[in-house]
Amino acid sequence: MRALVLLDMLGDKDLQIQRDTNSDRRLQALFFGAARDLGLGKHVDGPAEEISDDHLRFRELGIPSVDLIDLRFGPNNSWWHTAEDKLENCSKASLAIAGRIVLAGLPALEKDFRRPR
């Protein structure tokens, strides 16, 4: 395994992917750069914060990892892990934007995290 890209909680109607200080900087730059290249920088250019999530287990094993996550779901983050955490409160547009960002970043991931020959 060369890298882990964790996609988490990316369906919020106001998509804002946090810059996680626990994520691999190269991977983060790769995907955030892809977002900016697509004209989607407003979805990734927020403040940095420390995020403890499933990607940390991979990082502990020495696998470069990035957490692409929007930690604020619903008004004042009131829907996260509640009865309002349901499909009708998710945004197809935000999921499409996240998908575009990931797909745009994959070629660089393949190139930069290639196995040594």
Mean pLDDT for all residues in the chain: 92
Please give the pLDDT value at position 103.
98
pTM of the model: 0.90
Q: What angle separates helix 92-112 from helix 25-37, to the nearest 10 degrees?
A: 120
Q: What's the chain look like in SS3?
A: CCCEEEEECCCCCCCCCCEECCCCHHHHHHHHHHHHHCCCHHHCCCCEECCCCCHHHHHHCCCCEEEEECCCCCHHHCCCCCCCCCHHHCCHHHHHHHHHHHHHHHHHHHHHCCCCC
What is the pLDDT averaged over residues 71-78?
83
Q: Label residue 59 by pLDDT band (50, 70, 90).
A: very high
What are the two backbone dihedrals, phi and then psi, of residue 44, each rounded to the nearest 5 degrees? -130, -5
Residue 67 has pLDDT above 80, yes or no: yes
Residue 64 has pLDDT above 80, yes or no: yes
Residue 104 has pLDDT above 90, yes or no: yes
Please give the pLDDT value at position 34.
98
Task: Name the maximum alpha-carbon separation found in the chain.
Answer: 50
What is the pLDDT averaged over residues 17-45?
95
